[in-house]
Amino acid sequence: MIEELKTKLSSLEENYTLKIQSAATLKDLQDLQVAALGRKGELTELLKSLKDLSLEDKKTFGPLSNTLKNKLTALFEEKQIALEAAAVNEELAKTNIDLTLPAYTFDKGRRHPLVIAQKRMVDILSKLGFIWAEGPLIEDEAHNFDALNIPKNHPARDVQDTFFVKNAVKTGFVLRTHTSGVQVRAMQKQKPPIRIIAPGRVFRSDSLDATHSPVFNQIEGLYVDKNVSLADLKRDLTVFMKGLFGNKAEVRFRPSFFPFTEPSVEVDVKCVFCEGKDPSCPVCKGTGWKEMLGAGVVHPNVLKNCGINPEEYSGYAFGMGVERLAMFSLNIKDIRTFYENDVRVLEQF
């Protein structure tokens, strides 16, 4: 019996090797493959007799038939690739496409400089443990002003400075003038410790010139916990500026005023272009410093307005202009550069 099976194996081998070689189409090849290796294929059937053999015979017939199976599978694959290539070549021969010509290049596009700058800032702040938070661009006056201790007579509440939104149903809405409203939303929503940043667009009724735009971007930062002080603010913002401008960067804190922080500071960075050495430096105008952002210790009234007990918790907040920091770090002189989207300019980043 084993001899008979061996003969069958070799005639199968001879037969299919020939047939595979002469298969003319992919369809023919596929039919052949089914006939040989399919569920009811010839080799498959032959393998079924394995179970009737003695142990001794199984040991010879088993490996023999497996070798043939592998050999045929390889032949089928090889032939398939050859037939496919032939089909492509035949198609190409009918056209006049010259495959030796170089391919067209096309521009994949790239990140906008503002996006690059914002991402660098957000990446550093994320490493400092700040979580991204968001708020609406059309904000109610309560979040944009009242909760932030901004009095009714504050100039920001004048139509000259702020876009007020009126519709038939609701009044008391503005295009948010800063991202500080997100602070309020965060404190209303969660208990301390809170450590968030809120990047996003803000709007002011300014006309467009080299340093002003009615739409620009800010990143707000807020940290509230037990015993947070101005010292924490100074440490974190110094680390941030060094991360952004390099380890040599120097940071200066000047007293300032914001209704929602007390004390308040203005944060300057030593001019990275002249390092404070060039009295005619066009970037820092010879002052040696560039004002970067406003910050301070969260005013107790703001904590109270948001349902946080100022006896128990304290916090710091900062708000910075993405365009301003981007202009300084990328040496862009005109804020309009960011919005005109001249491809020749964008390509440089």
Binding positions for ligand PHE, rule: CB under 6 A = 178, 180, 258, 261, 294-296, 317-319
Our CB check for ligand PHE shows the closer of 135 and 319 to be 319
Q: How far is the CB of 318 from ligand PHE (least distance, A)?
A: 5
Our CB check for ligand PHE shows the closer of 13 and 262 to be 262
Our CB check for ligand PHE shows the closer of 177 and 329 to be 177
**Residues 6 or more apart whose Cβ sits within 8 Å of residue 272:** 245, 246, 249, 328, 329
Our CB check for ligand PHE shows the closer of 72 and 148 to be 148
Placement of tokens 């498959």 in the chain: 44
**In whole angstroms, what is the distance from residue 26 CA to residue 38 CA?**
16
Q: Could you tell me if 320 and 293 are in contact, meaning their C-beta atoms sit under 8 angstroms apart?
A: yes
Closest-CB residue for ligand PHE? 319
Our CB check for ligand PHE shows the closer of 41 and 181 to be 181
**In whole angstroms, what is the distance from residue 323 CA to residue 335 CA?**
7
Our CB check for ligand PHE shows the closer of 76 and 203 to be 203
Q: How far is the CB of 143 from ligand PHE (least distance, A)?
A: 12
Q: How far is the CB of 251 from ligand PHE (least distance, A)?
A: 16
CA dist 49 → 40, 68, 184, 313 (Å):
13, 16, 80, 83
**In whole angstroms, what is the distance from residue 165 CA to residue 270 CA?**
40
Q: How far is the CB of 191 from ligand PHE (least distance, A)?
A: 21
Helix (H) or strand (E) holding 309: none
Q: How far is the CB of 156 from ligand PHE (least distance, A)?
A: 9
Q: How far is the CB of 102 from ligand PHE (least distance, A)?
A: 52
Burial 119-150 (b: 16+ CB within 10 A, else e): eebbebbeebebeebebeeebbbebbbbbbbb
Q: How far is the CB of 206 from ligand PHE (least distance, A)?
A: 13
Q: How far is the CB of 320 from ligand PHE (least distance, A)?
A: 8
**In whole angstroms, what is the distance from residue 110 CA to residue 344 CA?**
12
Taking 3-state DSSP, the helix, strand and coil percentages for the chain, each rounded to the nearest 5, stand at 45, 20, 35
**In whole angstroms, what is the distance from residue 226 CA to residue 224 CA?**
7
Our CB check for ligand PHE shows the closer of 318 and 338 to be 318
Partnered with residue 253 across adjacent β-strands are 267
User: DSSP string covering 149-217, please?
Assistant: T--TT-GGGSTTTS-EE--SS--SEEE-SSTHHHHHHHHHHSPSPEEEEEEEEEE-S----SS--SEEE
Q: How far is the CB of 228 from ligand PHE (least distance, A)?
A: 13
**In whole angstroms, what is the distance from residue 323 CA to residue 334 CA?**
10
Our CB check for ligand PHE shows the closer of 32 and 184 to be 184
Placement of tokens 């394995």 in the chain: 50
Our CB check for ligand PHE shows the closer of 33 and 264 to be 264
